[in-house]
Chain A
């Protein structure tokens, strides 16, 4: 017969599935209730927002979507928030990805924008591919794509995602190199921000911002400190901040209540676990 555990031992050996259930409840309930609270804006998100906001209309902004569906939860809301801000300001938006599975996500995001901006006074004929935006699709070759685009954009991206020639597109007017872009922002799930800084910013001297999954945010703060990037949007929290700044509350802002609830739960669990760990260790002595 198994030895009966006292309550202290029982707590320290609690089946982890109870924790999974608690986390699920703390995520599901706020999302079903639909509660959302304003978030504090961090300076690194504010600076990216301010830069795009102050660009004159018809500026060219390149939003690089270096992620795939695995990171969609964090980076797709960020992409939509940036697109909405750019289209609100009348900017031209170019997008590409260095990840094979990212091109379809860009196309879906642009399709969403086309529906949202139908009937917008800024775009009486709606958003048009090749005029207001272009999806260059998957750029094959990693860092070499950045170097090629720095030398000649039209050679680096001969066709868009749909196979249309980019050479005659209105959006390409006045843009022959990365250096001609008014702003580049890389939304990355991996290490491509390093590539864009090393092979892009250092060589072609354009202004760059970055967005990344929360797990890699600490890795990119040094670039912010040196000024190699002028803004950093980190994870779902960063996306929520941008949505709030742009005045388009979306999925990121809606998810922040769940995020905060689970963080509170985890803090409580960490404290309780440590208390019981020290109590059982003391008893063992």
Chain B
């Protein structure tokens, strides 16, 4: 079921279409329309973000509780926040060190154990311990393929680690393992590049779909011949 357009939405779609074309005009060469679109984008983004921060952070988290609910303890985090902004005033920029130290202290305390566990210990466990998929444990007839994949990951991790291990000269077996490591790195770069191409083309597809599907509907609505 199609969503019915309103006049405001239709005008918005036409403006968005015009700005999209302005931005893509850069592909031909830098021009006035592109510059206009670029500046419009930056200005609107900043204005929108300030609005969001006001209505989601400053008003509900400080103005309302402090002035209307007498939650005066909020003066301390607010002062710390204001001290952070002193970074831009050279004479008193040292004031920003205290809130910065607070943020770094809390951030590190929260992040170090959590990230260490999630991104290193769990990965290590999975890489080293699970090297065998038993046909008994899995219903998949490709259990041997899964086992091979696990060994490939194990070999890849080992080889790449050797490539980045500089305390031993890269000769003999260490050199050979390092070379295998480069191959793994190259394959990973290739996969990342493939995915990046896909991502960028997806953005273009999104814009073209917008121009092909939504813009005609907006025109039809405004001309009174559509939904």
Binding site for B on A (CB under 8 A): 17, 20, 23-24, 27-28, 31-32, 72-74, 100-101, 103, 111-112, 115-116, 118, 137-138, 140, 143-144, 147, 194, 197-199, 201-203, 213-218, 222, 225-228, 234-237, 251, 254-255, 258-259, 262-263, 266
Contacts and interface: CB of A to CB of B under 8 A. Distances in A.
B153 interface: yes
B42 interface: no
B204 A214 contact: no
Contact of A255 (B126, B196, B205): B205
Chain B binding surface SS class: helix
Contact of B117 (A198, A213, A225): A198
Interface stretch (B53-61, B80-88, B171-179, B218-226): B53-61
Contact of B52 (A28, A138, A144): A138
The CB with the most chain A CB atoms within 10 A, among B4, B52, B200, B212, is that of B52
A236 B56 contact: no
A202 B117 contact: yes
Contact of B123 (A20, A194, A226): A226
Contacts of A237: 198
A140 B202 CA distance: 29
Interface of B: 1-4, 27-28, 48-49, 52-53, 56-57, 61, 110-111, 114-115, 117-119, 122-123, 125-126, 153, 188, 191-192, 195-209, 212
Nearest to B201: A262
A188 to B, nearest CB: 13
A72 B16 CA distance: 14
Contacts of B196: 214-215
Nearest to A71: B203
29 contacts: A17-B27, A20-B27, A28-B212, A31-B205, A73-B202, A73-B207, A73-B209, A101-B52, A138-B52, A140-B56, A198-B115, A198-B117, A199-B110, A214-B198, A215-B192, A215-B196, A215-B200, A218-B188, A222-B123, A226-B122, A226-B123, A227-B126, A228-B122, A234-B195, A235-B199, A235-B202, A255-B202, A262-B201, A263-B197
A213 B199 contact: yes
A23 B205 CA distance: 11
A23 B201 CA distance: 9
B202 A118 contact: no
B204 A218 contact: no
**Shortest 3 CB-CB distances between A and B: which pairs?**
A73-B206, A214-B199, A215-B199
A73 B110 CA distance: 33
Contacts of B28: 17
The CB with the most chain A CB atoms within 10 A, among B153, B197, B199, B203, is that of B199
Contact of B191 (A137, A199, A218): A218
Contacts of A198: 111, 114-115, 117-119
B3 A112 contact: yes
B146 to A, nearest CB: 10
Chain A binding surface SS class: helix
A170 B119 CA distance: 37
Nearest to B149: A225
Given A143-B110, A226-B123, A236-B198, A115 B208 contact: no
B110 A74 contact: no
A263 B115 CA distance: 36
A28 B212 CA distance: 9
Contacts of B123: 222, 226
A101 B56 contact: no
Contacts of A263: 197-198, 201
A227 to B, nearest CB: 8
Contact of B204 (A23, A116, A199, A201): A23
B216 to A, nearest CB: 11
Given A194-B115, A228-B118, 17 more contacts: A17-B28, A23-B201, A27-B208, A31-B209, A101-B49, A138-B52, A197-B118, A198-B117, A215-B200, A226-B123, A226-B126, A228-B122, A255-B205, A258-B208, A262-B201, A263-B198, A266-B197
B62 to A, nearest CB: 12
A259 B209 CA distance: 12
A251 B4 CA distance: 18
Nearest to A196: B118
B205 A27 contact: yes
B205 A73 contact: yes
Nearest to B126: A226
B192 A137 contact: no
A214 B125 CA distance: 27
